[in-house]
Every structure is written in structure tokens, then in C-alpha cells.
Amino acid sequence: MSSPEIDALTQALSRLPGLGPRSARRAVLHLLKRRETALEPLRAALDAVDARMSTCSTCGNVDTNNPCHICTDPRRDDTLLAVVEDVADLWAMDRARLFSGRYHVLGGRLSALEGVGPEDLSVEQLLVRARDERVTEVVLAMNATMEGQTTLYYIAERLESMNVNVTTLAHGVPVGGELDYLDEGTIAQALRARQPLSR
Amino acid sequence: MSSPEIDALTQALSRLPGLGPRSARRAVLHLLKRRETALEPLRAALDAVDARMSTCSTCGNVDTNNPCHICTDPRRDDTLLAVVEDVADLWAMDRARLFSGRYHVLGGRLSALEGVGPEDLSVEQLLVRARDERVTEVVLAMNATMEGQTTLYYIAERLESMNVNVTTLAHGVPVGGELDYLDEGTIAQALRARQPLSR
């Protein structure tokens, strides 16, 4: 039997997404074996995040500044607004380094199963931004899941009366994707949206 | 792009066994969304472990006391010593609540591939214990892997000149195991070690 200290750390780690009780236990042992190189850096990193990170009250991003560095960056195109489900999606899009506009984080997706309704997401703030800011195009960048798409159509409807163009991400074969491993829906979408070969 | 604070925490988490970069990122967001219920408990647990846990200089267990609570428990049978590869294995055996003796943690397994030799494990300490303590039986409880078994035979050989009985864990069908999913080696071992049915 291990000690209460170990149990508490195992439990705290096992609540992280992707870590079950067994891998949490292995992680604890890993940390114990490597105090200087693993435990201390993790502790310092948690401290820094807790002390310095806050949620941007404009877009919902997590950043050291509020408003965040994206919302305050003058080089960003303020006529273009991408709506994403979560901060992770914002980071993923920003890693692609193609999108030059700003973001709006909904904070989740509509889900009857999990009891998430429009009032649980930052939909009203989005409508205010679409109305008051200089936005001309809203890119709905929800995940290509059932719930993501339900959310997408709901937001699209709410934006209908606004004076903005509403667009969505293209569906198709992911880069590096093999047809054999793709579902029929994706292949059908990719076929429908096929483009002339550019040489 | 996320901030250096987020990157540092993501990196610290992604070094844990079982967490890749992607799940580490998800874990960071999970912690950020739940500061009071996830981030603070994890921080407190890390602090407590770092402040209070040490390695038992007798057996290699990790505990709040040194020697650990197992080595100092007078109800434990001090003629019985189980040798395990890692602290995780000690905990696993102790969770079974059947073994009443004490433990010796080797700190790994012999591995030509990873360059782990006998001098990297606490083999000499084990021999000293087998000689100086009141041990009459050493249970070699290494993992049933190639490297675990190599280590087992090496330790068994080193213990040969000692005045102790050397035993190993039984092989067989794991409880809840389905034959269809077991390798032939396990099935063969289970057949060879078959026992009369007790009613």
C-alpha cells in the first residue's frame, strides 16, 4: 500500500484526460524517480500557469494578457472572425499559421446528451462582436463531428440577420490521409468539392 | 500560438509516461478550465510528495518514512523476502494483500539493449540482506517478460551460494483471462502446472 501523499497525486493525475489510474500511478513513479528533471519542472510550470494565465474576456483564449495577444495584435485582420469550440481548437488553427483574423471561443459544443445548451456557450457575446466590431466574415470552424456541426448550424442561423458573410472550413481528404482509412462521408465530400489540378 | 508558460507545462506533462504532446495539451486545457478542482489539487499533491516522500534505504520502496512502513512493520514475516523490479511492482503485489513478507526493489531489470547491467540494480544490497537478515525464502517476483526472466535467472544464480530457498511466481491463466486471447506459452505453462480441482 502506498501513502496518502502518493494516492492524492495519483488521483489528481488520473483525472487528467488521457490518463487512467494505472498510467497515473506510473507517472507518479516517474516523477518520484526524477525529482529534479521531472517533478520540479512540472511543479514550476503549474505555478507559472496558475499565477500568470487568464482567460481573454474578448475571445475566450487563455493568455498571459487580457485581452490576449491575438485580440490586441494590430497586424491581425479585424474584419475576419473564426468561431471555434475550444481553446485547443484556437491553438490548433493558429499553429497552421494561415488564418490572419481573430477568434471567438464558444467554450464547448451543443450537446443534448451532456445537457449543454446555447446559454452555456458564449453565443450572445459572439453576436455582440459580430454586430459591434468591424467583422465582415465569420468562419465557423467547429469540429466535423455531429455535435460540432449541430452547433455550427445553430450559430449560422443566429448570425443570419447580421450583416456578415458566414463561411465554414472545407471538408476533404486530410493531408497525408489514405483513402482506404477514410470514411465514405469524407470521400464523398472530397469528391463533391473536387478541384481542377493546378500545375 | 500559446504562451511560454503553457508550452512549459505542456512539455513537462508530455514527458510523463502515457501522455503524448497532444494529450498533454488537452490536459493543460483541462487544468486551466478547472483551476480550483484540478490545478490546485495537483499542485498541492506534487508539493506534498516532493516534501514528504523518500526512498527506503533498506528495500527501495518510496514512503514517508525511511526505513519504510513495510520494513518497520513488526507483523511482517522477516524470513520472507520478495524481489521485484520496480516500486510499481511492489505496490501491485502489496495490493493483492496476500504476501506477508518484506520486499527488495531492484530498481529495474537487466537489459543489454538499454545498457542496464547488474551494477545498475541493487543486487549487492540484496545479497547482503539475504546473508545478514533472517531471510529463509527469497521469492523472485520479476515480470514475466524476457528481460524480467533474464534478471530472475541472474539473481537466482547469485543467490545459489546463500542459505536461502529461492522461489518464483507461478505462471498460468490470469484471473478473468480468456484462453482465446492468451499466448501459447501461457497456456502451455498453465497446462503443465494443472492442479486437481478443489471442491
pLDDT (tens digit per residue) in A103-162: 999 999 999 999 999 999 999 999 999 999 999 999 999 988 899 999 999 999 999 999
Q: Are A53 and A42 in contact (CB under 8 A)?
A: no
ipTM score here?
0.71
Subunit contact A31:B16, Cβ cutoff 8 A: yes
Nearest-CB residue to A6 (from B2, B13, B49): B49
Nearest-CB residue to B17 (from A17, A30, A94): A30
Topology of the domain comprising B4-52: Helicase, Ruva Protein; domain 3 (1.10.8)
Subunit contact A26:B17, Cβ cutoff 8 A: yes
What is the rounded average pLDDT of the residues A96-104?
90
Spatial separation of the C-alpha atoms in residues A106 and A89, rounded to whole Å: 10
Spatial separation of the C-alpha atoms in residues B131 and B138, rounded to whole Å: 11
Optimal mutation site among B49, B94, B102, interface A, most CBs of chain A within 10 A: B49
Same fold, B4-52 and B75-168: no
Long-range contacts of A23-26 (CB under 8 A, 24+ apart): A23/B17, A23/B18, A23/B19, A25/B88, A25/B91, A26/B17, A26/B18, A26/B88
Q: What CATH code would you report for B75-168?
A: 3.40.1360.10
Nearest-CB residue to A42 (from B2, B13, B23): B13
Over the stretch A35-70, which tens digit does the pLDDT of each residue have? 999 999 999 999 999 999 999 999 999 999 999 999
What is the rounded average pLDDT of the residues B21-45?
91
Q: How far is B188 from chain A (nearest CA, A)?
A: 29
All three cell numbers of A113, joined, read: 446528451
Identify the band that residue A176 occupies on the pLDDT scale cut at 50, 70 and 90.
Answer: confident
Spatial separation of the C-alpha atoms in residues B129 and A61, rounded to whole Å: 58
Q: Are A105 and A87 in contact (CB under 8 A)?
A: yes
Spatial separation of the C-alpha atoms in residues B167 and B137, rounded to whole Å: 7
For chains A and B, CB pairs below 8 A equal: 158
Q: Element (H or E) spanning B151, and its range?
A: helix B146-159
Nearest-CB residue to A86 (from B8, B16, B29): B29
The C-alpha R_g of chain A, in whole angstroms, comes to 21
| CATH 1.10.645.10 for the A77-168 domain, yes or no | no
Subunit contact B30:A16, Cβ cutoff 8 A: yes
Q: How far is A196 from chain B (nearest CA, A)?
A: 33
Q: Which amino acid is at A36?
A: E
Please report where in the chains the cell 482506404 appears, as a residue.
Answer: A180
Please report where in the chains the cell 546473508 appears, as a residue.
Answer: B131
Spatial separation of the C-alpha atoms in residues A64 and A60, rounded to whole Å: 12
* pLDDT exceeds 90 at position B177: no
**Domain regions of chain B by residue span:** 4-52, 75-168
